[in-house]
Amino acid sequence: MNFQHTKCYTKDYPRPQFVRKNWQNLNGEWDFYLDYNNVGESCGFANGFTASQKILVPFAYQCPASGIGNEQLCQTIWYQRHVNVDKTHDQLALLHLEGCDYNATVWVNGKLCGNDSGGYHRMTFDITNACNAGDNLLVIKVTDDYSRLIPRGKQRWEKSNFGCWYVDIAGIYKTAWLEVVHKNHIQGVKITPNLSDGSVSIDFATTNQKGQLQATIWYQNQLVEQLTIPAKNNHVVANLLKNLHLWEQGEGNLYDLQLDLVCDGAVTDSVGSYFGMREISIQDGRVLLNGKPLYQRLILDQGYWPQSALTPPSEQSLQQDITLTLQMGFNGARKHQKVEDERYLYYADVYGFIVWAEMPSMYDFTEQSAQNFEREWLLAVHQQYNHPCILCWVPFNESWGVEHILTDKTQQDFVNKVYHATKQIDPMRPVITNDGWEHTISDFVTLHHYTQDGATLTKAFGNVADCVGGPWLDHDRQTFAHGYLHQGQPILLTEFGGTSFVKDTFGGNWGYGSAVANDAEYLARLGNLVDSIRALPHMQGFCYTQLTDVYQEVNGLLYFDRTPKQPLTSFAQIFGNKGK
């Protein structure tokens, strides 16, 4: 596997496609308080509090890795630490929380700096006006509960794990960090490749319209292009046709990009980034990557770890999950019910590893839950847009949160609204409206079936008519919601398998179907299932459930600690490229 870091790579930097040098990692030990009686604000915690215990950020207090490991729900929690801010009068101090579930309020030196809600986007707070030069007291209050009206994903809404839902998390669970920027700075960038003319479009926003933007592009340390435009233009196009290298599966082939904002002859901001040149299209029921048919061999990956739940133990653990997946013969992953750490997407970009980006589900449909969901999803799409590894967007799964979509026009209209809003941000990627079944408008037709018998899969999905109809054999779901029909979209089986060992299914542990008795039966069943899918000429790929065991769900190819259940080479012989 080819691997080469980008020019802007900085270890542990949480935003790898928008890198600045002046930053401070705030992970580590913080003061912590479980406010079971919600008395913190009335007691003046915003001005500082006496900690009841310490917590290791970025791990949620429910996780052993946090140093606490208390799974009892506390709806109000408090964080506190001192931070040193070194800035001049013309600079801003920005606090970022990469992931904080669910409502966060921030004070610095007792001054309110803002609040935000949502567990799956980067929260940013301008703390400049509250900061002193030197030492400052940072206090964060977070509230969370068991509400089914907010996106939860696989976080349980009961006191104990059940089914395929696991320990809930609250508070900071991704990197907390601080950066100091000039008042005249680049606020964001949107990078769009266009293979039809070999160009890349760079849209950017700055805090004012003054000065010029310099965009410098390299490929493997060789200068490709350097452009300078007025910052007020907010848009630049670079032609790469004479030096065109494509992002392919297994080949990242990334271009390095640096953006410098120059005001009054001085550079006020420098941002390091990168991009990949690739095109995703659909033709005659097939998925094409750069104009060539792409057969997707995906693994369902929920991104949990035994000691830290949704939080990776380290950056290396994210890279390891991708390399293990590649070694088992897969060319991508469906990141299930999770908006993954952007460092994972960075490694996927570098390796040429396909990612399906999904949204954690809500579980009750109301006007409020629909608003919560749509806001958070669109923020996540904006945040992940530049990563070339992302092949498609998956806002909904198995009708979770839109339980009556089969017949309910209100729910159908909401799903379609999210589809169109996603397309408005990103017209270049496919969107799957409801992965698994009961699709409305959707760019792929995706099916889920957990039979443990390959012959049943062949009978259920033996031709296109079977795939787009329903109920299917041994399954009571229909492919399309009422009023919607197949329009020639590619068809993929995006959940199947889930096979476990008998020895693993003790107590509350479970897998799909009957567990196998030994290694030989395990590999034979996997091979039978995969071969039956490959034999279907209309099927454009598959996604096997799943990468690892997750708590009580013991149907991974790897144990929860990432130990393989069989030699990786044995898995590669089953799942690897065999002409498809």
Which parts of 61-211 are beta strand (E)?
76-85, 91-97, 100-101, 103-108, 111-117, 123-126, 134-143, 171-172, 176-182, 186-194, 199-206
d(CA 438, CA 441): 10
- The residue range of the domain holding 419 is 280-575
Residue with tokens 């408090």: 78
Q: What is the dihedral of CA 53, 57, 58, 62, to 10 degrees?
A: -10
Q: Could you tell me the CATH number of the domain that includes residue 123? A: 2.60.120.260
**Residue 514: which pLDDT band, with cuts at 50, 70 and 90?**
confident
d(CA 330, CA 354): 9
**Residue 474: which pLDDT band, with cuts at 50, 70 and 90?**
confident
My answer on whether 424 and 566 are in the same domain is yes
What's the confidence (pLDDT) of residue 327? 98
**Looking at the domain assignment, is residue 15 inside a domain?**
no
Task: Report the DSSP pairing between strands 332-335 and 296-301.
Answer: parallel
* 53-104 pLDDT per residue, tens: 999 999 999 999 999 999 999 999 999 999 999 988 999 999 999 999 999 9
What string of DSSP letters covers 32-79? EEE-TT--TTTTTGGG----SEEEEETS-TTSGGGT----S--SEEEE
Residue with tokens 């630490």: 81
The overall average pLDDT reported for the chain is: 96
Tokens linked to 163:
């089914």
**Looking at the domain assignment, is residue 1 inside a domain?**
no
Q: How many domains does the chain have?
A: 3
What's the confidence (pLDDT) of residue 3? 85
CA distance readout (Å), 347 to 11, 30, 41, 189, 249: 12, 29, 41, 20, 13
d(CA 172, CA 257): 31
For residue 501, give every residue at least 6 positions away whose Cβ sits within 8 Å of its Cβ, in sequence order, or none. 515, 516, 517, 522, 554, 565
d(CA 103, CA 472): 42
- Cβ count within 10 A of residue 21: 11
d(CA 374, CA 507): 38
Q: Which of 216, 242, 275 is the last residue of a domain?
A: 275
488: alpha, beta or left? (left if phi > 0; alpha if psi -120 to 50): left
d(CA 265, CA 164): 58
My answer on whether 347 and 332 are in the same domain is yes
Report, as an integer, the average pLDDT of 443-452.
97
What string of DSSP letters covers 388-439? TTEEEEE--BTTTT-TTTTT-HHHHHHHHHHHHHHHHH-TTS-B-SSBBS-B
My answer on whether 314 and 243 are in the same domain is no
What's the confidence (pLDDT) of residue 401? 97
**Looking at the domain assignment, is residue 4 inside a domain?**
no
Answer whether 491's CB lies under 8 Å from 538's CB: yes
**Looking at the domain assignment, is residue 306 inside a domain?**
yes
Bond into 102 cis (ω within 30): yes
Answer whether 139's CB lies under 8 Å from 46's CB: yes
**Residue 8: which pLDDT band, with cuts at 50, 70 and 90?**
very high
d(CA 545, CA 398): 15
458: alpha, beta or left? (left if phi > 0; alpha if psi -120 to 50): alpha
d(CA 96, CA 489): 40
The amino acid at 34:
L
My answer on whether 243 and 299 are in the same domain is no
What's the confidence (pLDDT) of residue 550? 97
* 517-550 pLDDT per residue, tens: 999 999 999 999 999 999 999 999 999 999 999 9
| Rg, Å, the chain Cα set | 24
**Looking at the domain assignment, is residue 345 inside a domain?**
yes
Q: Which of 174, 205, 240 is the last residue of a domain?
A: 174
d(CA 536, CA 457): 10
d(CA 136, CA 93): 12
Residue 240 has pLDDT above 70, yes or no: yes
Tokens linked to 63:
């996780």
Report, as an integer, the average pLDDT of 15-33.
97
What's the confidence (pLDDT) of residue 94? 98
What's the confidence (pLDDT) of residue 1? 67
For residue 560, the SS3 value is: coil
**Residue 228: which pLDDT band, with cuts at 50, 70 and 90?**
very high
Q: Could you tell me the CATH number of the domain that includes residue 315? A: 3.20.20.80
**Looking at the domain assignment, is residue 14 inside a domain?**
no
Q: How many residues does the chain have?
A: 580
My answer on whether 152 and 259 are in the same domain is no
* 169-186 pLDDT per residue, tens: 999 999 999 999 999 999
What string of DSSP letters covers 340-385? --HHHHHHHHHHT-EEEEE-PPPSS--HHHHHHHHHHHHHHHHHHT
CA distance readout (Å), 169 to 279, 398, 548: 37, 23, 20
Answer whether 233's CB lies under 8 Å from 273's CB: no
My answer on whether 139 and 288 are in the same domain is no
What's the confidence (pLDDT) of residue 14? 97
Instruction: Give the chain's end-to-end CA distance (angstroms, integer).
Output: 19
Among 306, 302, 308, 341, residue whose Cα is nearest residue 325: 302
My answer on whether 252 and 299 are in the same domain is no
* 103-140 pLDDT per residue, tens: 999 999 999 999 999 999 999 999 999 999 899 999 99
What's the confidence (pLDDT) of residue 52? 87
My answer on whether 327 and 265 are in the same domain is no
d(CA 233, CA 102): 37
Residue 136: φ, ψ to 5°: -140, 150
* 388-442 pLDDT per residue, tens: 999 999 999 999 999 999 999 999 999 999 999 999 999 999 999 999 999 999 9
Answer whether 497's CB lies under 8 Å from 545's CB: yes
* 283-335 pLDDT per residue, tens: 999 999 999 999 999 999 999 999 999 999 999 999 999 999 999 999 999 99
Q: Could you tell me the CATH number of the domain that includes residue 236? A: 2.60.40.10
**Looking at the domain assignment, is residue 6 inside a domain?**
no
What's the confidence (pLDDT) of residue 2? 73
Tokens linked to 151:
């996106």
**Looking at the domain assignment, is residue 161 inside a domain?**
yes
My answer on whether 156 and 196 are in the same domain is no
My answer on whether 239 and 126 are in the same domain is no
CA geometry: angle at 523 spanning 517 and 525, to 5°? 75
pLDDT > 90 in the chain, percent: 93
What's the confidence (pLDDT) of residue 578? 82
Q: How would you label 417-438 residue by residue, b for 16+ Cβ within 10 Å and e otherwise?
A: ebbeebbeebeebbbbbbbbbb
Residue 522: which H helix or E strand, with range? helix 519-534
Answer whether 543's CB lies under 8 Å from 492's CB: yes
Tokens linked to 503:
């020895």
